[in-house]
Amino acid sequence: MPSNLVRLTVNGAIHDIAAAPDTPLLYILRNDLALNGPKFGCGLGECGACTVIIDNVAARACVVPLSACAQRSIMTLEGLGTRDGPDPLQAAFVVHQAAQCGYCLNGMIMTAKALLLRNPRPSEQEIKQALRYNLCRCGTHVEILAAVMAAAGHATARDHLSEADRDATH
């Protein structure tokens, strides 16, 4: 492999990338690998829209240089599940209607997934702490929290609704 190439493992697939070492990982994921789960939000690592999981830790792809990703395992939203077989966290977001515009969704899901990889049954406070730096302008924080709580195996208020009540909320 030529010295200007960086070998990345993204969603289990190996990619040899030729780019400047300081290129933000987000640009490689979106432009070179056509993975559009991570979004460009602020470009400063502040909003969370670009979050990916690197070696089981949530990371802001807009500020992580390509050079820091060699020989590491990177997971994007596309690597979690499929439409037909979603990850349990993704399924919980659907059930709890935890999306409105969807722009923050990648960051919320990937940050929550990193938390669940470290701690499969976090408390409500631990979930709030993990998600505190992910921005959502639509105000679906209550639904997002309920989805993560459900994915972590906690009962939520929605779980206690009758089937007729659940149908009425759709």
Q: What is the pLDDT of residues 20-42, one digit of tens each?
A: 999 999 999 999 999 999 999 99
Whole-angstrom distance, CA of residue 36 vs CA of residue 100: 18
φ and ψ at residue 28, rounded to 5 degrees: -65, -45
SS3 7: strand
Closest C-alpha to 47, from 136, 126, 114: 136
What mean pLDDT is predicted for residues 121-130? 96
- Residue limits of CATH 1.10.150.120 in the chain: 88-168
Whole-angstrom distance, CA of residue 72 vs CA of residue 153: 30
Q: Measured in whole angstroms, how far is the alpha carbon of residue 37 from the centre of its chain?
A: 8
Q: What is the pLDDT of residues 34-86, one digit of tens each?
A: 999 999 999 999 999 999 999 999 999 999 999 999 999 999 999 999 999 99
Share of the chain above pLDDT 90, in %: 80
Whole-angstrom distance, CA of residue 7 vs CA of residue 15: 6
Q: Which residues contact 91 (CB under 8 A, 6 or more apart)?
A: 81, 151
Count of CB atoms situated within 10 Å of the CB of 2: 6
Chosen CATH of 88-168 out of 1.10.3720.10, 1.10.150.120, 2.40.30.10, 1.10.150.20: 1.10.150.120
For residue 139, pLDDT over 80 is answered with yes
Indicate the residue type of 68.
A
Determine the pLDDT at residue 41.
Answer: 93
Chosen CATH of 5-79 out of 3.30.70.260, 3.10.20.30, 3.30.2350.10, 3.50.30.60: 3.10.20.30
